[in-house]
Amino acid sequence: MLRGKELWLAALAAILIGGIYALVVFLTREIPNAGELFGHSLGILGFILMLMTEILYSLRKRSRSARWGRMSDWLEFHIFTGLVGPFMVLLHTSWKFNGLAGVTTLFTVVIVISGFVGRYIYTRIPRTLDGLELEGGLSEAALRNARRLMALWHTVHIPIGIALFVAAFVHIGAALYYATFLK
């Protein structure tokens, strides 16, 4: 199995999406506006991927009885959608970062960076293919420190993720109100 395949697949998807974006810029001779069809579509699809990142992985993680695949596969899905979705949302911004949309973009960048940190910490803890921690492999002290670090990381990553989604839903509501309902 290719180690870090979710990162390679996310990079490949980003190159493909970036290529389509570059083609649109080349053909139209302008950066796609966030409120027009292409820019809007990037934002919607990227946000859906980000929602899937959080909701589906969290449901599988918390469901002990469900057998919806291995946790390691779900973590790879979480990482893939957690990279591709924000990339699409970044392209949706039209490279304008003012107001609430700018704050939402900042939260998005912070949560992606935090996700890389979490992935690194997570890989330091030996696990089964199903994602359960193994007791062997590391000295007890190193394992205890890695678990503490992972717990600390969760106390930062999760609230930032919540803030991101609150800001994103407010942004979406405001965009609908001002761009759609007032016309």
pLDDT single digits (tens) 42-94: 999 999 999 988 888 778 777 777 677 777 788 888 889 999 999 999 999 88
User: From residue 124, how far is each of 53, 91, 104, 133, 168 by CA, in Å?
Assistant: 22, 33, 30, 11, 32
Q: What is the pLDDT of residue 90?
A: 92
User: From residue 141, how far is each of 21, 121, 132, 138, 153 by CA, in Å?
Assistant: 48, 15, 19, 8, 18
Q: What is the pLDDT of residue 20?
A: 96
Q: How many CA atoms lie within 13 A of 12 on its CB side?
A: 7
Burial (CB < 10 A; 0-12, 13-18, 19+), residue 101, is: buried
Query: How many domains are contained in the chain?
Result: 1
Separation of alpha carbons 157 and 159, rounded Å: 6
Q: What is the pLDDT of residue 135?
A: 60
Element (DSSP H or E) covering residue 64: none
Which residues in the chain come in under a pLDDT of 50?
1-2
Range of the domain at 37: 5-181
pTM of the predicted protein model: 0.79
